[in-house]
Amino acid sequence: MVKAVRIEAVGGPEVMDLVDVEPGAPGAGMVTIENHAIGLNFIDTYHRSGLYPLALPSGLGLEGAGVVTAVGQGVDFAVGDRVAYCSAGIGSYAESLNLPAQRLVGIPEGVSYEVAAAVMLKGQTVEYLLQRTYALAPGQTCLFHAAAGGVGLLFGQWASALGATVIGTVGSEEKAELARNHGFAHVINYRQEDVAARVREITDGVGVPVVYDGVGRDTFSASLASLQPRGLLVSFGNASGAPEPLDLQRLASGGSLYITRPTLVTYTATSEELRQSASAVFEHLLAGSLRVEINQHYTLADIRQAHRDLEARATTGSSVILP
């Protein structure tokens, strides 16, 4: 038996319970992973709250890193291999679990379990956002909301390494300083400034060609207003709730604007895409052009508090759960 978080109903953090489960032996194409570190991500709160529905009862969590302890038939991994995952299925909030081998990646030497668990989902999100959803080019300027979050700090570093100028939004001076230290050339405190007006000021009235918005309802209008004609709004998350329904005429009046709602699952749909994306993240880590800020540690027993902190925007950078 192992400890794992389960929910019987959707709701607030109180619906999560730490219980004993029996993972069983891995079937064909599966491996058993003993988690050494588990990633904490905002999407986990969407699953818990019911915003992204799950079949209940269910585990929670998408991301983790650990060691293979058992293998089923037809897999390429061996017992003792160090592996990480972020799109292999629900249930990473556990001491041990079975997952499909095709959705795992090996952890290279020089990358710790904690860093792997903190960077897989956020790093691969950054990879597909700035390399494939909109291929950000040197000399371009973009806007990224929640600059001091786990995805934001990685995005700022990666985008600035590409030669782009990154504008970020934050809610405090402390977070602004953190963003500046991670590649953001301009930081806007949305509690004190009009975001779209400030973007126009920074860009000499032109606006930006792309906005990356993982916040949702609270930032959606400012995101559209910050775009230049034929600009693209990449709406990749709903941290403040889902945006209101959009009148398509608003895209026309804004200058023939575009909008997309991408997901990591779509951009890593095949094993080849998954491993290419992860390889790009690990290459940047090992080259030193990305550093992961793990600013909060929790245990599985602390999981309710972890979600409270996340939803209160009381965290910065990345958080990990230690089994």
Q: What is the CATH number of the domain that holds 49?
A: 3.90.180.10
For residue 89, the SS3 value is: coil
Q: Domain containing 243: what range?
A: 138-261
CA–CA separation, 128 and 322 (whole Å): 27
Q: In the predicted model, is pLDDT for residue 313 greater than 90?
A: no
Residue 293 has what pLDDT? 86
* Residue range 66-84, pLDDT digits in tens: 999 999 999 999 999 999 9
**Residue 17: beta bridge partners?**
6
Q: Which two tokens stand for residue 34?
A: 């003993």
Quickly count: other Cβ atoms within 10 Å of residue 90's Cβ. Answer: 15
CA–CA separation, 83 and 98 (whole Å): 12
DSSP string for 257-312: -EEE---HHHHT-SHHHHHHHHHHHHHHHHHTS----EEEEEEGGGHHHHHHHHHT
Q: How many domains does the chain have?
A: 2
Inside any domain, residue 287: no
Domain closes at, from 245, 261, 277: 261
Q: Are residues 110 and 182 in the same domain?
A: no
Q: Are residues 110 and 150 in the same domain?
A: no
Helix (H) or strand (E) holding 30: strand 30-39
Q: What is the CATH number of the domain that holds 189?
A: 3.40.50.720
Q: Are residues 160 and 241 in the same domain?
A: yes
Q: Are residues 38 and 79 in the same domain?
A: yes
Going by pLDDT thresholds of 50, 70 and 90, the confidence category of residue 237 is confident
Going by pLDDT thresholds of 50, 70 and 90, the confidence category of residue 229 is very high
Inside any domain, residue 275: no
Inside any domain, residue 276: no
Q: In the predicted model, is pLDDT for residue 34 greater than 90?
A: yes
Domain closes at, from 261, 283, 310: 261
Going by pLDDT thresholds of 50, 70 and 90, the confidence category of residue 3 is very high
Q: What is the mean pLDDT of the chain?
A: 95
Inside any domain, residue 182: yes
CA 311 centroid distance within chain: 14
Inside any domain, residue 16: yes
Quickly count: other Cβ atoms within 10 Å of residue 269's Cβ. Answer: 12
